[in-house]
Amino acid sequence: MIFNFHRPGSLNTGAPRTPNRPLREPGELQPENTVPAEEIPDYKNARVFITLQKKPSRAKKNEQNQDNVLTHAMTGLFGVMDGLGGKPYGDLASKAVERQLPEQFSLSEVEAATMAPEELIEKLTEMSAEKFDGRSDYINQKAVLHKKAAELVAKDAGLARKSFALLQAMQNINRAVQATRGETTACVGLIHETAGGEKYAVIANVGDSGAFIRRSDGRVERVTPEDSVQEALKEIGAKIDNLDLDEYLRTNSDPISGKIRADLPIKIPLTLDNVLAIGYTKDDFVKFEKQGKKTLDFDYYGLKATLTSSLGMGKTPTPSVRVIKIEKGDELLFCTDGVIDKYEDEEKQTTDLEELGKDLELGTDPIERLNSLRVMATQRMTYKISDDIAMVLMQVK
């Protein structure tokens, strides 16, 4: 769990519909269908808008929409989910989050309300440190997390409890997602207002869906990390042929275009830190050693596309949690990789935030702007030709 305090610098089984629920089930979208942008009412601290689009079908098959949105005004939750492609039942997995996460969050809020500050700090620390269990930097990371949890509790106990509740709910929902036999990403947030009137966004992310913040002056920042093999290796400073990963990729890119071949071989040295960082276990490391492996082999596309964490996987994931101060005029954009991948700066290996910000500005009101962004994203030419799209835009009141 990482707390960043910074400023400038559904599967429906007959449950009754509520005012904050779209008038159709996103999973029922057929190929090439679109849900135009619409506002979801009844949020206390924000205006919330959603849009979805199904990618064109392959071989004229009516494939289910893997992407989904969560809007639940009663708990204040909003976000996006993306069932994992290449695996069955991704649509059911993403719907399970949409349907059951609000209840899990409410239960966790009740639990958090009974905790003394010291217990809350320890719980936040232990749950967040699970991500680093077994790694050589575990003790240092746990100490950093403990300090940040203590700072958060001291700043605003209600904000800390909301952070705990969202983190625990994301972990608890894993069993329900597993029951669908599918896997999904999830990027979910809420707005908390302190007793002093300050507003903070609490955002939890698993997988490669993401959240971006557009400040009132137009600057765009990425809020959430991506749970991919590429980002995990960069985070721990892994070396490939004695080069940092970014340097290795630049060295092997086309000297004119800066592009990298999708089949570029990437041989990751077999170390315990590398194995754990990219989502394997200690037992896997032992198995690989017995097999005589010296490296874990990926190509460039696999490095980018392989997730280190998702909901529904065998082990309970540890979401990344961000706590960010927000003010009137700021906007949060939650979107699945069907949007994010279309704004990749391949040469810099990052999201082109300037281009994303420009396309998000096209329009006179949030609905027009969100519709425009969806269309602009689908028209951009990148390595990913098409994908399902889900977006939630939140404006701070």
Q: Tell me the pLDDT of the chain (397 aa) as tens digits.
A: 443 333 222 322 233 333 343 444 555 566 568 899 999 999 998 999 999 998 776 655 556 778 999 999 999 999 999 998 777 889 999 999 999 999 999 999 999 999 999 999 999 999 999 999 999 999 999 999 999 999 999 999 999 999 999 999 999 999 999 999 999 999 999 999 998 899 999 999 999 999 999 998 889 999 999 999 999 999 999 999 999 998 999 899 888 877 888 899 999 999 999 999 998 999 999 999 999 999 999 999 899 889 999 999 888 899 999 999 999 999 999 999 999 988 887 666 678 888 999 999 999 899 999 999 999 988 876 656 678 899 999 999 8
What is the CB neighbour count within 10 angstroms for residue 171?
A: 20
Q: Is 333 contained in some domain?
A: yes
Distance of alpha carbon 192 from alpha carbon 6, whole angstroms = 15
Residues 237 and 263 in one domain: yes
Q: Is 14 contained in some domain?
A: no
Give phi and psi for 170, each to the nearest 5: -65, -35
Q: Where are the alpha helices (DSSP H) in the chain?
A: 90-113, 117-129, 138-155, 157-179, 229-236, 245-251, 272-277, 282-290, 300-305, 337-340, 353-360, 366-379
Residues 218 and 320 in one domain: yes
Residues 169 and 215 in one domain: yes
Q: Is 311 contained in some domain?
A: no
Residues 236 and 380 in one domain: no
Residues 217 and 139 in one domain: yes
Residue span of the structural domain in which 219 resides: 26-226+316-396
Question: Nearest CA to 87 among 101, 56, 68, 66?
Answer: 66
Q: How far is CA 223 from CA 2, 128, 210, 342, in A?
A: 11, 17, 7, 18
Query: Quick one: pLDDT at residue 155?
Result: 94
Its pTM stands at 0.89
End-of-domain residue from the set 305, 338, 359: 305
Token representation of residue 135: 């790694």
Q: Is 6 contained in some domain?
A: no
Radius of gyration for the chain, computed over Cα atoms and rounded to the nearest angstrom: 21
What is the CB neighbour count within 10 angstroms for residue 71?
A: 22
Residues 168 and 210 in one domain: yes
Residue type, 314: G
Distance of alpha carbon 22 from alpha carbon 307, whole angstroms = 29
